[in-house]
Structure 1
């Protein structure tokens, strides 16, 4: 069987991520976090206590075309993909994975990937993170009916998901929705987009970029004296920002979404375990993300071993038979089971930026769920 060594009982899984390219520094932390979980599994003897796991990591450079090429190189060496970084890479690989009957854990927060039998979504959606944060800001008196909320997003499905959450928030909270500004993942100049947002007097901007975009966005906002509340996800942050010129602007203007709580809070079981496994390296939110991917993939493998079938169809059946997966206190649970019955986590941990805090994230609330309820498809 591809990816399973009968002689030594080793299960091989593949991880598709950016070992090089613009997001490599933070993607590398995901690799460390996922490996930490497999180390944890292997210390206990492996899957089902007897099958150790080894990871084969492929470099997609955050490029969907390269993701397809790299998948072809490793697909016969692994039983499944324990991570595919980037919405565009998942989109590019999806028809090939379906043709091959292969299973993957998408390293994204796209709600649409919950509807495929061979994908095992793990995280809350982009929509949930945006909506929960808007609800939180309204509860804190920082958004009201006079507010203008805008989006600065990629011109793709992930960007549209964030815009959908803004529209839902407007229906629930009564604020005005501004015209969105769009950009490409590799853009380095943002003056035009930021000027357009400033011209609309946006009070809040939902930002859909990654860590490679953030310094240039902050530079444009600083130059134009534009100081809204920015809502960003943790992957727009980097540990290097804590000692950079942009730290002050981030502290004054950014709210960040993620999982868990303060990253040095070892009262959270998952953080306690992760901290021990990667010591003395300080835990980052990217480590948490990778750790959770490893946990999700391990649950699939455990069920597949129980069913006696590590083939692609066997792994799909395993996902269909798994109900709720919990994440050691790092996040709300995900419900798998058959397509059509899956439920993504509805929680969002919300952080202020604080250069003195671990990874620059100071927790404001753990596992916030908007009391107004979640939107359809979130």
Structure 2
């Protein structure tokens, strides 16, 4: 028994050593610049301070990094917000256990958390309350709750990692996103709709979007892609977060004859939409943006599985348990530190990986002997092609707008086996491929944190997508964590 425990701990440690940031606990010695300061130029090294500099949220004596977290654990997006909050808690528990090399030896993470309940005013209030206690914010949950912070971020010189894929985030130095935008997702969804229908003339596009910046980002992408493809958008419907009665919305879509409907909604909207549509015997092809889904939908006690018959998930991210590089290390961390937090959920995975990114930037700042807020921003700018060991598309924060990928795929839920099949593989939307054709000739940089191939980054030549039909793949055997090609299905234990 003791031998098994030791082997498990060694495996976990090795996994995160391979996955960890490229820094150590001490400041840079120029003789070891390649070891300690990946991404630092000679000018960076020559100008770095002799001793570690800090201002907010860093206790040098005790090696404690304080990180702000603005969650929604009680509002209309709590179905996502709770597991998202758990992702950062899992990461902090792993770092603080000393079982990984995500941060240099001896460093721990303190989370300073607040619940804004998906209320922009409460978000601003919570931000002001804790901003002087933290170096940066590891989570600002939701597009409408992050945008009001933007004017303050530059004044306070503080980076906020948004739980949002709004296009506006990549355009702002202080809000680095972690993947392709909702706009890009919507564009890829339109490509899928045209391919599935066989011709653009056979598509009558509809959309239900949340009446805020998240929803409007999806709407912009949907309409731009429709114009590019020659598709008519026959119905545009809006809902508010948490809206339950959507009868009029479904009736309008049905009357317009919409054959393919994009859902730029939260799960609290997705459920009523699909349920009401089933009751009214309206069954178009549903295409949901990343936040439209939660893994709890796999449980029939939440919503009957039949209502997801025509639902597709349009996303640029791996799902829980997918056999991609880096997943085994994450699942090992979950088994050791996360099971008491709640049920497995995609958003816990997403939040954890986003947290890895933020700590990678901190390690680079630490290696440069400057963990002030301005030093942290410089550390972030040294993050090139970060892919979390192969789980993300390569992310590049060397310049603004940030380059966070454009390859999106379409997944279909296998409600029986609680996993996913690939309906359409990773590809850059055709409207973007046309706009960036000249840039696609450049080869992508080697990804940080893993040598395995990753989905194409924004501007990279996308591989030809697989036929746009459901490609069922057998889920991995229970407990099997062997490496396998990306995009294969594996067991999703989100019961």
Shared fold per TM-score greater than 0.5 = yes
Q: Deviations over 1:105-138 (max 9, x none)?
A: 1110111111222222212100111212322343
Relative distance call for 1:17 and 1:289 in structure 2 (3 A) is same
> What is the rounded CA distance, in whole Å, between the counterparts of 2:172 and 2:160 in structure 1?
10
Residue equivalent to 1:346? 406
Q: Give the deviation of 1:190 after TM superposition.
A: 0.9
In structure 1, the residue corresponding to 2:192 is in which secondary structure? Answer: helix
State whether residues 105 and 119 of structure 1, in contact with CA within 8 Å, keep that contact through their aligned partners in structure 2: yes
The correspondence for 2:81, drawn from 4, 27, 51, is 27
> What is the rounded CA distance, in whole Å, between the counterparts of 1:321 and 1:62 in structure 2?
32
The correspondence for 1:256, drawn from 310, 313, 337, is 313
Task: Choose 91-100 or 141-150, whichever is displaced more.
Answer: 141-150
**Does residue 293 of structure 1 match 2:354?**
yes
In structure 2, the residue corresponding to 1:328 is in which secondary structure? Answer: helix
**Does residue 247 of structure 1 match 2:304?**
yes
Q: Give the deviation of 1:372 after TM superposition.
A: 5.5
Q: Deviations over 1:272-325 (max 9, x none)?
A: 122111125764211221122112211211121122222222222222333322
- Gaps of at least 5 residues in structure 2 are 1-54, 437-457, 459-495
Relative distance call for 1:291 and 1:258 in structure 2 (3 A) is farther
Residue equivalent to 1:52? 108
TM alignment of 1:171-250, pairs within 5 A: 171-241=227-297, 242-244=299-301, 246-250=303-307
Q: Give the deviation of 1:40 after TM superposition.
A: 4.2
> What is the rounded CA distance, in whole Å, between the counterparts of 1:261 and 1:9 in structure 2?
33
**Does residue 335 of structure 1 match 2:396?**
yes
**Does residue 8 of structure 1 match 2:8?**
no
Q: Give the deviation of 1:374 after TM superposition.
A: 4.4
> What is the rounded CA distance, in whole Å, between the counterparts of 2:226 and 2:139 in structure 1?
34
> What is the rounded CA distance, in whole Å, between the counterparts of 2:123 and 2:261 in structure 1?
31
**Does residue 125 of structure 1 match 2:181?**
yes
State whether residues 192 and 424 of structure 2, in contact with CA within 8 Å, keep that contact through their aligned partners in structure 1: no
In structure 1, the residue corresponding to 2:126 is in which secondary structure? Answer: helix
Aligned length: 375
Q: Give the deviation of 1:223 after TM superposition.
A: 2.8
> What is the rounded CA distance, in whole Å, between the counterparts of 2:290 and 2:231 in structure 1?
25
> What is the rounded CA distance, in whole Å, between the counterparts of 1:117 and 1:368 in structure 2?
27
Q: Give the deviation of 1:81 after TM superposition.
A: 0.2
Relative distance call for 1:157 and 1:26 in structure 2 (3 A) is closer
Relative distance call for 1:75 and 1:235 in structure 2 (3 A) is same
> What is the rounded CA distance, in whole Å, between the counterparts of 1:249 and 1:60 in structure 2?
34
Q: Deviations over 1:64-109 (max 9, x none)?
A: 1111111122212211001111001111111122221111111101
State whether residues 230 and 254 of structure 1, in contact with CA within 8 Å, keep that contact through their aligned partners in structure 2: yes
TM alignment of 1:260-271, pairs within 5 A: 260-261=317-318, 263-265=320-322, 267-271=323-327
The ranges of structure 1 where at least 4 consecutive aligned residues each deviate by more than 6 angstroms after the TM superposition are 375-378
Q: Give the deviation of 1:37 after TM superposition.
A: 3.1
> What is the rounded CA distance, in whole Å, between the counterparts of 2:400 and 2:181 in structure 1?
17
Q: Give the deviation of 1:327 after TM superposition.
A: 2.7
In structure 2, the residue corresponding to 1:123 is in which secondary structure? Answer: coil
Q: Deviations over 1:179-220 (max 9, x none)?
A: 311111132211111111111100011111111112221232
Residue equivalent to 1:356? 416
State whether residues 130 and 206 of structure 1, in contact with CA within 8 Å, keep that contact through their aligned partners in structure 2: yes
In structure 2, the residue corresponding to 1:55 is in which secondary structure? Answer: strand
Q: Give the deviation of 1:226 after TM superposition.
A: 1.4
Relative distance call for 1:245 and 1:308 in structure 2 (3 A) is closer
**Does residue 305 of structure 1 match 2:359?**
no
Q: Give the deviation of 1:142 after TM superposition.
A: 5.5
Residue equivalent to 1:274? 330
Residue equivalent to 1:368? 427
Task: Choose 346-355 or 365-374, whichever is displaced more.
Answer: 365-374
**Does residue 17 of structure 1 match 2:71?**
yes
Relative distance call for 1:188 and 1:77 in structure 2 (3 A) is same
Q: TM-score, normalised by structure 1?
A: 0.90
> What is the rounded CA distance, in whole Å, between the counterparts of 1:372 and 1:69 in structure 2?
40
> What is the rounded CA distance, in whole Å, between the counterparts of 1:13 and 1:300 in structure 2?
13
**Does residue 84 of structure 1 match 2:108?**
no
Residue equivalent to 1:163? 219
State whether residues 321 and 338 of structure 1, in contact with CA within 8 Å, keep that contact through their aligned partners in structure 2: no
> What is the rounded CA distance, in whole Å, between the counterparts of 1:245 and 1:31 in structure 2?
21
State whether residues 353 and 361 of structure 1, in contact with CA within 8 Å, keep that contact through their aligned partners in structure 2: yes
Q: Give the deviation of 1:244 after TM superposition.
A: 3.5
TM alignment of 1:85-100, pairs within 5 A: 85-100=141-156
Relative distance call for 1:251 and 1:218 in structure 2 (3 A) is closer
RMSD: 2.4
State whether residues 320 and 339 of structure 1, in contact with CA within 8 Å, keep that contact through their aligned partners in structure 2: no
